[in-house]
Structure 1
Amino acid sequence: MSSPYFSELVKGIESVIMHHGYDMIVCNSLGGEHSTASRYIREKRIDGAIVIAQNIQNKLLLEAAESGFPIVVMDRELNNDHIVNVLIDDEQGGYVATRYLLDKGHRTIAYINGTFSSDCNLLRYQGYLRALHEAGVEERKEWRLSGHFTKEGGYQAAKFLIENELPSAVFFASDEMAISGLEAFREHHISVPEQVSVVGFDNIHLSHYVYPPLTTFRQPKTDAGQLAGHVLIQMLKGETVDSSYILNN
């Protein structure tokens, strides 16, 4: 769990799971269907699962979930009697972040993607588009770049903008990418926010300690993790739960 976003999410889950006397195993999902996480789910070596990794296949989760093996998924929607979705309203979050920049007078706003296959990334992008459309601003495709939700990706995306055409503002779909983007702008002597405004997303702990200060939008990470933990415990006890829960940013 090298990502600060996932680390904070896991802390929320752990605080609930261990309080109820369960041990928690955090499994690596690298390798997709061949990963340790996928194997544990496929072989049902655990009592239940909370899935926060997009590279674990939907097909595996739908086949594995049953009355004796409940699953909670986060940041995606699956329809199964033994799967509960815990979601954050990423579309609204993307809209609010973009609206913030528009209200500051920006009309040239780049969007730095996370992972294209990620549901939360797609929803943030849809929120970005909705805000642009409402303001009568046309999207420029060359200003939608992929940063893969990584530090290196954010840095390279910012560098591409610097070397080509710099918009007046950049919305990074995660704080990790935004922090690296700030580093790229600083290295190239581009002043933030005087020459370009930067907005991140997630409000990870590290974002409070960067310079210049990063404007970012809060994700209820701990709340989402705790909710997922509570829901899984209820399912393990055979209690009735809703099929989906949505948290606002």
Structure 2
Amino acid sequence: MSATIKDIANKVGVAPSTVSRVLSNKTKYYNSLTAEKVKKAAEELGYKKNQAAVELVKRESNVIAAVVSSVKTNFAGEIIDGIQEEALKHGYDLIVVYAGSADSDEQKRALLTVIERPVMGILLLSIALGEDNLKLLKESQIPYCFLSMAFDDNRPFISSDDEEVGYKATKLLIDKGHRKIGLAGIDKFPYTGRLRLQGYKKALDEAGIVFQEDWIQTGDYSYLSGEKAMDQYGKDTDLTGIVAVSDMVAIGLLNKARNLGLNVPGDLSIVSIDGTEMCRIVQPQLTSISQNFFEMGKSGVQRIEDIKKHKKLVNLQQMIPTRIEERQSTTQKENLTYF
């Protein structure tokens, strides 16, 4: 069997996309030393260019790839629905690849799965890439955009304002008379978790409430994180309200609270962040700060379409508005009975 681009990449220690650019005489994103190493390895391995594959790559692609975090949350489905609807309008196909949220190797495998195929754009759903993988993505020269995650640098994204989301959820409970408010299931990594924590603390500070470290329970936005958080708070918690950083965390809190003999919202009010259909199919239904995930998906495809048409990205970063939806899991602190 003849050598492949991947074989050369493994031998030299660079990305397959870099080998492809060197062998195609594209000059961006590598230096002369790298080019020399790649060409030498190609010669040693007896690499022969597959002309049929070259012609396939040159053919204009109509495929959009969605790279999805494998963390067990449920909002990705709504984003994919939005991507699918908008893609169909333009005659595009969609492929979906799953990757670990913070595992660098899993992220790299997912990216290579996409990059090594002819795709017109890549949409990354709630994934914070490490520096090496971000470099790999940029070097591919394929248009990309992050969805449901905002960044401090110039990476293109479409997301909710996570600081505002944390602020809104906390202030809703404060406005209902709660003064001891937890924040459950939040991640330790930058971006989403950090911004929601900032919003949470901002609302407490404005209300003159002294923040306490044990009000925070970390996690990964999953159902299990909600259960673990409620276990840590315990049956005798002095909290009267909790902000859950995802619907799955909120349901984990809700079910564990019931197991501990606590009434929601009589003993404990819960506000969820996300607002997917899960909020409406549990009892009591969950009050939420609802994000428009469907619109994020649609806007992501429109972003790729804009790049295709204009060869550049004008609107680099976009915030999608959120809304408060009050349901049954919150009550005024004075009202201790749930009907």
Do they fold alike, i.e. is TM over 0.5?
yes
**Identity in percent:** 26
8 Å CA contact retained: 2:127, 2:146:
no
What's the offset of the Cα at 1:205? 0.5
SS of residue matched to 2:284: coil
Structure 1 partner of 2:264: 192
Q: How does 1:52-131 map to 2 (within 5 A)?
A: 52-65=125-138, 68-74=141-147, 75-77=149-151, 79=153, 84-131=156-203
In structure 1, C-alpha distance between the alignment counterparts of 2:115 and 2:235, rounded to whole Å: 47
- Report which structure shows greater RCO (CA 8 Å, sep ≥6): 1
TM-score (normalizing by structure 2): 0.67
Structure 1 partner of 2:305: 233
Provide the C-alpha distance between the structure 1 equivalents of 2:161 and 2:128, rounded to a whole number of angstroms: 20
| 1:150 equivalenced with 2:200 (yes/no) | no
User: For residues 78 and 25 of structure 1, what CA distance do their matches in structure 2 show?
Assistant: 28
**Pair 1:160-2:250 in alignment:** no
Contact 1:32 1:38 in 2 (8 A): no
Q: Is the 8 A contact 1:113 1:125 kept in 2?
A: no
The residue identity in structure 1 corresponding to 2:112 is R
Number of residue pairs the alignment of both structures matches: 247
Deviates more, 1:83-92 or 1:187-196: 83-92
Q: Does 1:243 align with 2:316?
A: yes
In structure 2, the partner of 1:32 is: 104
Aligned position for 2:85? 15
Separation in 2, partners of 1:157, 1:97: 18
Larger CA deviation: 121-130 vs 109-118? 109-118
Distance 1:34 1:120 in 2: 20
Q: Which runs of 5+ in 1 are unaligned?
A: none
Residue 282 of structure 2 is aligned to residue 210 of structure 1:
yes
Are the counterparts in 2 of residues 40 and 46 from structure 1 also a CA contact under 8 Å? no
Query: Taking structure 1 as reference, are residues 57 and 237 closer, same or farther at Cα in structure 2, changes over 3 Å only?
Result: farther
**Which deviates more, 201-210 or 54-63?**
54-63
Letter in 1 for 2:151: E
Over alpha carbons, which structure has the higher Rg?
2
For 2:167 and 2:205, the matched residues in 1 are separated by 10
Paired amino acid for 1:134: E
Q: 1:39 offset after TM fit, Å? A: 1.5
Secondary structure, in 3 states, of the residue corresponding to 2:195?
A: helix
**Structure-2 separation of matches of 1:127 and 1:144:** 13
Aligned to 1:51: 124
Deviations 1:149-194 (A, max 9, x none): 0101101111211256341111111111001111011112111111
TM-score, with structure 1 as normaliser = 0.90
Kept in 2, the 8 Å contact 1:170–1:198? The answer is yes
- Residues 273 and 288 of structure 2 are in contact (CA less than 8 Å); yes or no, is this contact kept in structure 1? yes
State how far apart, in whole Å, the 1-side matches of 2:229 and 2:141 are. 45
Distance 1:162 1:16, change over 3 A: same
CA distance in 1, matches of 2:116, 2:152: 20
Find the partner of 2:208 among 116, 129, 136: 136
Distance verdict in 2 for CA 1:58–1:232, change over 3 Å: farther
Counterpart secondary structure, 1:25: strand
Partner residue of 2:51? Answer: none
Tell me if the contact between 1:58 and 1:78 (Cα under 8 Å) persists in the aligned partners.
no
